[in-house]
Structure 1
Amino acid sequence: MMTTALKQRSLLGLKDLDAAEIESILDRAAYWEGQAEKLTPVLQGKFVANMFFENSTRTRFSFEMAEKRLGAEVMNFAAAASSVEKGESIYDTVRTLESMGIDAGVIRLKPIGMLAEIASKVKVPLINAGDGNNEHPTQALLDLFTMRKHFGHLKGLSVSIIGDILHSRVARSNLWALRKLGADVKFCAPAEMQAPELDAPYISMDEAVKADVVMMLRVQLERHATGMMKSAALYRESYGLTVERAERMQSNAIIMHPAPVNRDVEIDSDLVEHEKSRIFPQMANGVPIRMAVMERAMS
């Protein structure tokens, strides 16, 4: 019984979460978003460790804000300044914090497959804050929340995800979650950034900008030193959301991006705060989503 309850309170990914469970998290986030009080101490006396074995200031701050708004005691663990440098394994670090009495752990790490293995060996709920090229569930949840707020529904929405699909955990979590809720997802990417194991059709950039949601992914050009992607200008020309392409979007369509943004590479600087853009609202929406996820983990 203990393990089932633990599994239900953890959030390792969206691939194995059913539609009803995803909806319940979105609904609870809507509740938290509607609270006027910034601090509602429902998790007072609970201790959470944010364990970031891979850097992300933005995601960590969003989790920390969510945790503190719920009244939890927060400990931040950054691997760069820690014993992981001395060769201590990630597993040992998590077990160490567990043995000190944490009630939940938020974890971000690079190696794929390690998170599920650690979760099976510890007795506290774990929240995935990004693992390798696998999943980034809270990012996808805040993306869904942002779409649902704008359109009122997810069923039947067309969503284009454009960019480095191959290395993107955001694309994976969004694909799996959006499909479960009845949205139509298509990818757009140069050949060397495609992920053939993901079952979604690839379309041209001209087609992609016609969707209800045009989601741009951050491109890390250092990963693609050859071919047409060797320069930012070439990437922008072929796969960037330029002002000219944005003009061809539907009137009610929105622009999304998980951030951080490479301005004038995957998206023109003028579009970051355009009326169609939801880039900063997405970040705002991350807090109530993570409040819902942390409450689910610890209450």
Structure 2
Amino acid sequence: MKTQPVSSDFVSLDRLSVLEIEQLIERALELKHGQPSKTFANKTIANLFFENSTRTRCSFEMAEHRLGMHVLPFETTTSSVQKGETLLDTCKTLEALGVEALVIRHQETGYYHALMEQLTIPIINAGDGSGQHPSQSLLDLMTMYEVFGHIHGKTVVICGDLRHSRVARSNADVLQRLGATVIGSGPPEWFDETMGIAYVPIDEAIEQSDIIMLLRVQQERHNQAMELEETYHEQYGLTLDRMRRVRPEAIILHPAPVNRGIEIADELVEHTQSRIFEQMKNGVFARMAILERAFHPNSTEGAI
């Protein structure tokens, strides 16, 4: 059984209190604005990505680099996973070799439950199937706080493939816990009632929202190919016409990768109200805060 405090794991924001989440946001903003962190040169970490990733993987690697960590190279395509080794045995092997924390993305929803029972090192969830994506949620929250100072009383619409989105699932709960009103939009057949939010048609939703969070259409999680370019954008995407009805103080978010011309018009990705690339930038600092916490779970200021 794990001998470290369970709080050293970072697998889902619903395991953290509102205070802990706000402390992580504050720490991430401090790091962005230049507050130094101790180096972690004596710490070894490994990134295990069993699903494709650009932003999340590179963001974690940059965060680890800035913290001075030693990153043990690991590629799933050349590992013993290809010989049939289980995820648990792979992680136990790395732990035995001296790896002190694991960042994992895996296609199995909730993969981390078994690992948390068997490993003594922190598990950082970089995305599990259609389950959770807590580090993405944290950088989204950081971006919102950076713009508004708070999100209490703000209205957030999450639009798109809610049924298959771990980003939507992670954000819907934590946003409400932090005092925001959250609504869902997009194709009705992709709406997930278990998320505990109301469905609002896209044209109404964008007019009443302070934060418009667009989701990538996850074609790889659908059984049939979809003719998205001709249908989705006009029916559910942020078109140029819909943008004219967006509040002037509202911001646009997207976890990326962006399907330009599908979830959002190509011309709007770099719009002055878009924070899409700022989200990516913030991902490094949010993940630095997460990594600090993994090794200093009882400190409100990470390694400081």
TM range (shorter): over 0.9
CA distance in 2, matches of 1:81, 1:213: 42
Which of the residues 254, 258, 261 maps onto 1:261?
Answer: 258
Deviations 1:157-198 (A, max 9, x none): 100000000000000111111111101110002122111221
Equivalent residue letter for 1:174: N
1:135 is paired with a residue of what secondary structure?
coil
Which of the residues 143, 146, 156 maps onto 1:146?
Answer: 143
Which of the residues 274, 277, 280 maps onto 1:280?
Answer: 277
Deviations 1:14-48 (A, max 9, x none): 122210010010011111111177xx552121001
**1:231 aligned residue:** 228
- After TM superposition, the structure 1 = structure 2 runs for residues 10-159 of structure 1, keeping only pairs within 5 Å, are 10-35=9-34, 40-159=37-156
Equivalent residue letter for 1:18: S
Could you tell which deviates more after superposition, 229-238 or 25-34? 229-238
Measured after TM superposition, the shift of residue 9 of structure 1 is: 1.2
1:213 aligns with 2:198: no
**2:299 aligned residue:** none
Equivalent residue letter for 2:28: A
**1:6 aligned residue:** 5
- After TM superposition, the structure 1 = structure 2 runs for residues 154-233 of structure 1, keeping only pairs within 5 Å, are 154-210=151-207, 211-221=209-219, 223=222, 225=224, 230-233=227-230
Equivalent residue letter for 1:146: T
Equivalent residue letter for 2:32: E
CA distance in 2, matches of 1:238, 1:224: 21
Equivalent residue letter for 2:213: M
Could you tell which deviates more after superposition, 54-63 or 157-166? 54-63
RMSD: 1.6
Deviations 1:77-97 (A, max 9, x none): 231232212211111111111
Moved over 6 A (4+): none
Measured after TM superposition, the shift of residue 224 of structure 1 is: 6.0
Structure 1 76/158 Cα, relative in aligned 2: closer, same or farther at 3 Å? farther
1:120 is paired with a residue of what secondary structure?
helix
How many residue pairs get matched?
294
TM-score by length of 1: 0.94
Structure 1 275/116 Cα, relative in aligned 2: closer, same or farther at 3 Å? same
User: In the alignment, is the contact (CA less than 8 A) between 1:224 and 1:230 conserved in 2?
Assistant: no
User: In the alignment, is the contact (CA less than 8 A) between 1:6 and 1:124 conserved in 2?
Assistant: no
CA distance in 2, matches of 1:113, 1:59: 18
CA distance in 2, matches of 1:76, 1:197: 39
Equivalent residue letter for 1:213: I
CA distance in 1, matches of 2:71, 2:34: 21
Could you tell which deviates more after superposition, 188-197 or 90-99? 188-197
CA distance in 2, matches of 1:257, 1:150: 15
1:91 is paired with a residue of what secondary structure?
helix
Identity %: 47
User: In the alignment, is the contact (CA less than 8 A) between 1:221 and 1:231 conserved in 2?
Assistant: no
CA distance in 1, matches of 2:181, 2:282: 22
Equivalent residue letter for 1:218: R
**2:267 aligned residue:** 270
Equivalent residue letter for 1:137: P
